[in-house]
Amino acid sequence: MPMRAENPLHLSAEKLSLGCPVLDRLLGGGAPCGFVTELSGEAASGKTQLCLQLLLSAAAPRSSGGLSAASLFISSEPPFPLRRLLSLSSGAAAPLDHILVSTAFSFKDLLNLLKHVDALLSLVRPPSGRPIRLLVLDSAAAIFRADSDDARRRSSEIFTLAAKLKEQARKFNLAVIVTNHVVDVFDGGSSDQHIGNYLNLSSSWRKVCPAMGLAWANCVNMRLFLSRTAEDGNGDSGTGGSFGRKLQVVFAPHLPETSCEFMIRREGVFGVATQA
């Protein structure tokens, strides 16, 4: 099959709304379809919350910024937060038939699952009646952090996974969201200065860096970082978790390095508009 050149003007530029206008504006419209977007952050930074909101947004009709599509949620850290999903979609009927949930605990499981997903994605009439347009993997770190005896094998597995995800993202115009943990960064590490701006990342008074190293960083198209901000004073003053949270664009080919505060309420994740 000869490959044909494409005109960039005809490439898809569809975005999946995050379900909040402030966050969408920060990201130039939302999570791009055809892209692998990483959401990294420490535990309880809001990664899964944002993922759930994306699931609802994908199912929402196009008139309200959704894709009117189905989505696939692959969990490596069960249980799937079904109650939270229901509370987020309060009011409207939860689009549960349009959210497929699966689990994978190892690289092998995951790759097999994704191969089956290929078949599911290419069905002309998908089971839920809508095409799948969003794939969430929560989290990639759990898969690769569990078994890491052989660094070389691990990195080739990371690249294999990334290539598969990117291929599916491209072929089926999927928005792919992958969550990642963070690791602590210790000052005085010799190679850290070269990696540069990661040193600016901090969450809950700690210097951190997204997990899975440089190999994985090479694999994502866009890296978002969720943090609990230190500027907010005593985060543990018992005010019901109202410490500051920040969403930061670490790198993305189409966005400058920006950030925005956000909060998590019962109704969902909301960005805080800065006074301009």
Residue 140 CB partners (closer than 8 Å, separation 6+): 76, 161, 178, 179, 180, 212, 216
Q: Could you say whether residue 149 binds other proteins (CB under 8 A)?
A: no
Q: Is 85 in the site for other proteins (CB under 8 A)?
A: no
Q: The tokens of 224 are what?
A: 């978002």
User: Residue holding tokens 């969902």?
Assistant: 268
Residue 17's Cβ-count burial label (10 Å; 0-12, 13-18, 19+) is: buried
- 32 near other proteins, rule: CB under 8 A: yes
Q: Which is nearer to other proteins, 164 or 263 (CB)?
A: 164
Task: From 71-79, 82-90, 218-226, 237-245, give the range in contact with other proteins by CB under 8 A.
Answer: 218-226
DSSP summary character for residue 189: -
| Binding flag, residue 197, other proteins (CB under 8 A) | yes
Can residue 184 be called a binding residue for other proteins (CB under 8 A)?
no
My answer on whether omega of the bond before 90 falls inside 30° of 0, hence cis, is no
79 upstream amide cis, omega within 30 of 0:
yes
Residue pair 251/27 in contact (Cβ under 8 Å)? The answer is no
Return the number of the residue (104 or 201) whose C-beta is nearest other proteins: 201
Q: Is 214 in the site for other proteins (CB under 8 A)?
A: yes
Task: Name which of 191 and 275 has its Cβ closer to other proteins.
Answer: 191
In the complex, the smallest distance separating the C-beta of residue 234 from other proteins, rounded to whole angstroms, is 29
Rule CB under 8 A: say whether 35 interacts with other proteins: yes
Q: Do the beta carbons of residue 55 and residue 136 sit within 8 Å?
A: yes
> Does 169 interact with other proteins (rule: CB under 8 A)?
yes
Task: Check binding of 129 to other proteins (CB under 8 A).
Answer: no
- Both structure tokens of 211: 């997990």
Binding site for other proteins (CB under 8 A): 2-3, 5-9, 11, 13, 28, 32, 34-36, 155-157, 159-160, 162-163, 166-167, 169-171, 190-191, 193-197, 200, 213-215, 217-221, 223, 250-251, 253-254, 256
